Amino acid sequence: MKLTTTFYAALFLMLLAGPISTVQSQESAGGLRHTVSVARFENRAGWHGQWNLGDAWDTVLTDMLNQTGKFIVLGETDMRYAALDEQDLAASGATAGGNRSPQLGQLTPAQLLVKGAITHVQGHTGDLGGGIRIKGFRIGGGGGTGEVNATIYIIDSTTGQVLASDSVVGTHERKSMNVGYATGSWGASFGGGKQDNIGIAVEDACAAAVAFILEQLPNLPWSGTVVMVKGNQVYLNRGTREGVTVGQTFTVGEVEVLRDPDTGEVLDESMTEVARLTVNQVKEKLSIADVTSGDAASIAKGMTVQR
């Protein structure tokens, strides 16, 4: 279905009237969240300009994933290595120390990795003309063409398996109407790339990538772990940070992992359910649940919790 100028005019008026930041963050706020990190995207397109294409992609995609409210977004790979360097430096005794010093063993692990490659770039980096940005949206634009193609992968960080993949295309066409995320001022770090046609195409391609990732969420595994049991109450290592809310129900039990005896690869995981839980209290990184059915006495620390 082709969207008309009337549609965009109506959308513009809606933005003026309502406290919306982005369509994605409004529709996807809340829900159980995965930790995710964007790995470096390789530039295989052979395109070179006044800014780094791979760096721009990583920056924009990380920003957009964070805006959805559906993920615990970790720093890009280079940022996490920099954090490790700071931890090692603090542990060496070379820094002043104190309560604010980086601590070893506290880095949040990524459950999902998003990586891929930029495979095609077409167009030029002429300045854009026209267009406005309001309350998280960009509407309008012109001044040349641009197209960016990329292949993305969602990878389970535990097994290294590709859970889903897709090819995405981002475009910026002359006189086209563009609606997208607000991506801050990333262009300032890449020689003004945000203000050219290829830069807008990168934003458009990243928005398509985020939409694809959100579509996969119902199929991606989500789990937690029992950290303590007190009578009929079970303490879980998932809280508001992971999107857990009061009233949610989970199953708890022992997980059996089947591995290939030749390669050690995980072939399958199956959980033997012990009980069902209903959350009654939630903190940032912890939640407390009541046992609503099953055998409370059989629940033990280290058992797996699944939605």
What's the pLDDT tens digit per position in 54-107? 888 988 999 999 998 889 888 755 554 554 444 454 455 555 555 554 444 444
Cα separation, 141 vs 178, whole angstroms: 7
Q: Decide which of 4 and 216 is more confident.
A: 216
Kindly report the CATH number that applies to the domain delimited by 223-306: 2.40.10.410
If you search the block for the tokens 């928005």, which residue do you land on? 207
pLDDT at 292: 93
pLDDT at 242: 87
pLDDT per residue as tens digits for the range 156-169:
887 788 889 999 99
CATH 2.40.10.410 boundaries in the chain: 223-306
Strand blocks (E) in the chain: 34-38, 42-43, 71-73, 112-123, 132-134, 137-139, 146-156, 162-172, 223-230, 233-236, 249-259, 266-282, 287-294, 304-306
CATH 3.40.50 boundaries in the chain: 5-74+110-218
Q: Report the percent of the chain where pLDDT is more than 90.
A: 29
pLDDT per residue as tens digits for the range 166-224:
999 998 764 344 445 777 666 655 665 666 788 888 888 999 999 999 999 888 878 88
Q: What are the residue ranges of helices labelled H in the chain?
A: 5-17, 23-28, 53-68, 77-91, 197-216
Average pLDDT, the chain: 74
Cα separation, 201 vs 147, whole angstroms: 5
Determine the topology of domain 5-74+110-218 in CATH: Rossmann fold (3.40.50)
Q: Is the pTM of this model over 0.75?
A: no
Measured CA distances, 300 to 4, 56, 251, 271, 305 (Å): 58, 46, 13, 14, 11
Least confident of 17-26, 63-72, 145-154, 298-307: 17-26
